[in-house]
Amino acid sequence: MANPSRLRCAALTTTAVLLAALLAGCGDGTEDGDLTAQKLDWKDCPAPSEAEGGGSAPSPLPNGATWQCATMRAPLDWGRPKGDTISIALIRARASGPESKRIGSLVFNFGGPGGSGVSTLPAFGSDYDVLRTRYDLVSFDPRGVGRSAPVKCKSDAQLDVYFQQDATPDNSAERAQLINRTKQFNAACEQNSRKVLPHVATTDAARDMDLLRQVLGDAKLHYFGISYGTELGGVYAHLFPKNVGRAVFDGVVDPTQNPEQSALGQAAGFQLALDNFAEDCTSKTTECPIGDTPEDVKNRIAKLLNDLEKKPIPGDPPRQLTQTAATNGIAQSLYSKDFWEYLTEGLEAAYDGDGRILMLLSDSMNGRSENGEYSNITAANTAISCADEKPRYTADFVQQRLPEFRSASPLFGDFLAWGLISCTNWAVPGAADHPDVSAPGSAPILVVGNTGDPATPYEGARRMAEALGSGVAVELTYKGQGHGAYDSKDKCVQRKVNDYLLNGTVPKAGAVCS
């Protein structure tokens, strides 16, 4: 995202890879131009690239099998399918059960946009081990991401400076500075990635997935999409409804909203998650170390952020914890209830002048590893979002809308509102106000909504179900906290999802897990 205040719809797993660890391939097509006939050369996976988040090569699977990686060639421009190609990085784990029981491949997208599936799938592969009994687990770096023709904008050192900027301007001088830095970021993306920027839209990635289906030898695409992955899955279902196999959408993006509506919904969603965090902390039998009541917790957080606006505190030297970094870190911690303890510790430390924990949480959101290297999630997120989204918002428009955003969230309102200028002055026009996901004739798609989801509010699941069309979506509600439902480890959710993917058993419409 060109503006760091824009909270991407990243799946928990995408950002947690970094927290836990705290145009490549251009060429000609095949001789006959038929990319569906290409053979994949699967080999043991190397360590993830810097753009994928870095780290070590994936560990062997529980049964001793290894993760395998390959590259698939796809057209740079799907409007010219026999022109230049790019390489799409792939990863898989072969099915552990007998071949006679194998259904096919189950393709994952963990969100973002901009998250590397090649680095994320093995980091959380054990969570899907039961699905591996009948599927090859497969993921990929979507175009523009990781090793797949990655979008490049600024250097690591430049990003350190960039993320220190004030993302919530309070006066004309700060506003001009934010606008100028956003322009500089977008210009760097154009300068360094001019060839690929027009070809990283979600529709392009969806066409890549159908090519992947064919290259893998599957008659249908069996799919598990999380967060932005649900938007990608919806676009795929719209383009190729007859090719949809068993599909699950979890942490569902609302496909009916434009970027302004989506950002406003996120403001309310993150505020709800913060309310729930404060209530949880103060309702426990032991004393909450960051406040006596939920309102006290939130008031102290607001005071901390106001103080940081005037005087940052030491974070990860030489970097300081600014108001923007602290807000970003708080948002990161609300993606999962498992992170709430880190938020409590981070706030307690920050009140004592130590910003390291909140800074690490912010780094995780921004794709920064402990060694100071950044993945390309920010660059890719901006490029894909701006290729998809037609509206281009001005600073004057944001200024007018601030009261409504502040009403939705006193803490996150300004942060998310100013993120709307991310695509202003972008080099490539956006495609539409919102994606078309209507998919008449598609096989059933299981749509899972979480009532406490901060990044993709619960209402989006119902709207996705309606937009897919009559007879396509089957809704499942999880009454829980965090972004997404399956990775919450809720047994009810996992049982229903697994039963559908493994046995084809569709849950009753309107089923609820709590």
Answer for the pair 367, 377: CB distance below 8 angstroms, yes or no: yes
The rounded distance, in Å, linking the Cα atoms of 135 and 87 is 24
Q: Report helix, strand or coil for 315.
A: coil
Answer for the pair 132, 121: CB distance below 8 angstroms, yes or no: no
The rounded distance, in Å, linking the Cα atoms of 288 and 292 is 7
* Active-site amino acid positions: 227, 453, 483
Query: CB neighbours of 157 closer than 8 A, spacing ≥ 6?
Result: none
Positive or negative CA dihedral for 496, 498, 503, 509? positive
Answer for the pair 180, 162: CB distance below 8 angstroms, yes or no: no
Task: Give the other-Cβ count within 10 Å of 5's Cβ.
Answer: 25
Q: How many helices (H) and strands (E) does the chain have?
A: 16, 14
The tokens 């989506």 sit on which residue?
Answer: 262
The rounded distance, in Å, linking the Cα atoms of 224 and 497 is 10
Tokens found for residue 415: 């942060």
User: Residue 70 pairs with which residues in a beta bridge?
Assistant: 90
Answer for the pair 134, 157: CB distance below 8 angstroms, yes or no: no
Around 47, how many Cα atoms within 13 Å sit in the side-chain half-sphere? 6
